């Protein structure tokens, strides 16, 4: 069966025609409205906690969604509904309460927006979001998102490979890492008033990880412009790493020869590593990573090495002792 979202790049001949896609999308939205009436389990973390302290066990999971849309990832897992994806969010700039993020971020200003790409590059450039949408063809990809807190979702993203953007600015041969920074706007993001975190949120990747074809800059979900709670207008998606690597609302991308400091690694270095590859064999110091709760399902499922993307990314870590790479 062909469907418009793929977890790996698709040939244009495989892409579902637009009219079929649109009618399926209407179906998804309709299904999502029904699912939206099912309350999600609250999963609160206090500001002094690292993420996931209070992740609920399987028994507290929300009721399964019998209207789950027909879109699946390449492992056959159904996509989460639009309502689930947009109402259960980690975005500490707005709140540590996942269900409060959507209402609190509703009026966040996402236009105008620019992202500055600079550092060890031959052609530094500041892009407006509208330039980005014109310059880089938008693709549709279904990826699993595995949060370090041991819950997961399947999300149909729209976006483009980060590699296309990086190639345009021409990294120099000295560049080894990419550093990302979220916007700092405490007047709109009340969480940035919290002294527990070193704002703005920062993340980083090795350059070869950033250039891997799976690494996406997302601009949409289910064909809709991405909403503030999911990181509008531009967010990173690195599907084989724990979700905290997938930084939201990016305003700076710096090419550097120094390994970047990241927010979570700075707050709790023994709990949140720089690599943060999904690995069921390495437990978080305070909970197991062997299994996960898929939002919308009753029972827990096994967590997969590299979140199931080993074929595409294992080569990046050859020779590294992954048991030491939390
Ligand atoms: N980016 C910023 N700027 N601030 C955050 O708090 N949370 C991360 C990541 N990106 C976060 C962030 C975490 S822990 C996860 S699991 C994902 O975003 C959640 O993405 P989602 O809400 O779109 O599912």
* Model confidence pLDDT, tens digit, residues 113-126: 999 999 999 999 99
pLDDT at 7: 57
Residue 157: its H or E element: strand 151-161
Distance 26 CA to ligand 1 centre (A): 27
Closest Cα to atom 17 of ligand 1: 243
Distance 18 CA to ligand 1 centre (A): 30
Give CA separation, 119 vs 173, 202, 208, in Å.
12, 16, 17
pLDDT mean over 18-43: 36
Give the pairing of strands 139-146 and 224-225.
unpaired
Residue 167 clears pLDDT 80, i.e. is over it = yes
Distance 17 CA to ligand 1 centre (A): 32
pLDDT mean over 225-240: 98
Residue 105 Cβ contacting ligand 1 at under 6 Å: no
pLDDT at 187: 98
pLDDT at 56: 33
Give CA separation, 13 vs 1, 9, 10, 16, 24, in Å.
13, 12, 8, 8, 18
pLDDT at 323: 85
Q: Best of 79, 243, 303 to mutate for ligand 1, by most ligand atoms within 8 A of CB? A: 243
Closest Cα to atom 13 of ligand 1: 244
Residue 70 clears pLDDT 80, i.e. is over it = no
Query: 12-324: which CATH number, 3.40.50.11900, 2.60.40.10, 3.40.50.300, 3.90.420.10?
Result: 3.90.420.10
Residue 245 clears pLDDT 70, i.e. is over it = yes
Residue 87 Cβ contacting ligand 1 at under 6 Å: no
pLDDT > 70: what percent of the chain? 78
Domain coordinates in residue numbering, the chain? 12-324
Closest Cα to atom 5 of ligand 1: 91
pLDDT at 188: 98
Residue 80 clears pLDDT 50, i.e. is over it = yes
Ligand 1 nearest-atom number relative to CA 236: 10
Give CA separation, 39 vs 64, 80, 176, 210, 291, in Å.
11, 14, 44, 36, 23
Of the given ranges (24-38, 85-99, 151-165, 226-240), which has the lowest mean pLDDT?
Answer: 24-38
Closest Cα to atom 23 of ligand 1: 230
Of the given ranges (44-53, 234-243, 268-277), which has the lowest mean pLDDT?
Answer: 44-53
Residue 57 clears pLDDT 60, i.e. is over it = no
Q: Who wins on pLDDT, 279 or 7?
A: 279
Compute how many other C-beta atoms are within 10 angstroms of the C-beta atom of residue 105: 24
- pLDDT tens-digit profile of 296-306? 999 999 999 99
Quote the mean pLDDT of the chain.
85
Residue whose C-alpha is closest to residue 221's, from 210, 230, 208, 209: 230
Distance 109 CA to ligand 1 centre (A): 18
Residue 145 Cβ contacting ligand 1 at under 6 Å: yes
Residue 92 Cβ contacting ligand 1 at under 6 Å: yes
Q: With cut-offs at 50, 70 and 90, classify the pLDDT of residue 59.
A: very low
pLDDT mean over 181-208: 98
């Amino acid at each position: 069966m062909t469907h418009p979202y793929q977890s790996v790049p698709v040939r244009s001949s495989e892409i579902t025609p637009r009219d079929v896609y649109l009618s399926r999308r209407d179906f998804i939205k309709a299904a999502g409205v029904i699912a939206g009436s099912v309350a999600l389990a609250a999963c609160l973390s206090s500001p002094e906690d690292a993420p996931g302290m209070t992740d609920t066990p399987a028994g507290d999971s929300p009721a399964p969604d019998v209207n789950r849309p027909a879109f699946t990832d390449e492992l056959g897992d159904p996509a989460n509904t639009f309502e689930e994806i947009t109402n259960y969010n980690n975005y500490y700039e707005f709140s540590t309460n996942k269900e409060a993020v959507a209402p609190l971020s509703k009026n966040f200003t996402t236009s105008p927006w620019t992202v500055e790409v600079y550092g060890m590059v031959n052609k530094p450039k500041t892009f407006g979001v509208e330039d980005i949408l014109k310059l880089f063809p938008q693709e549709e990809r279904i990826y699993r998102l595995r949060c370090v807190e041991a819950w997961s979702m399947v999300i149909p993203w729209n976006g483009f490979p980060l590699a296309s953007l990086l190639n345009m600015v021409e990294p120099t041969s000295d560049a080894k890492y990419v550093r990302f920074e979220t916007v700092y706007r405490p007047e709109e993001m009340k969480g940035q008033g919290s002294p527990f975190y070193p704002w703005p949120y920062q993340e980083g990747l090795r350059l070869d990880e950033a250039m891997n074809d799976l690494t996406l800059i997302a601009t949409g979900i289910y064909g809709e412009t991405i909403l503030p709670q999911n990181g509008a207008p531009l967010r990173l998606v690195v599907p084989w790493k724990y979700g905290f690597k997938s930084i939201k609302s990016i305003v700076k991308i710096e090419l550097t020869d120094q390994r970047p400091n990241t927010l979570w690694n700075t707050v709790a270095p023994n709990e949140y590593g720089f690599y943060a590859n999904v690995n069921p064999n390495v437990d978080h110091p305070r909970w197991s990573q062997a299994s996960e709760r898929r939002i919308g399902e009753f029972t827990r499922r096994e967590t997969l090495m590299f979140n199931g993307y080993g074929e595409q990314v294992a080569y990046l870590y050859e020779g590294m002792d992954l048991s030491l790479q939390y």
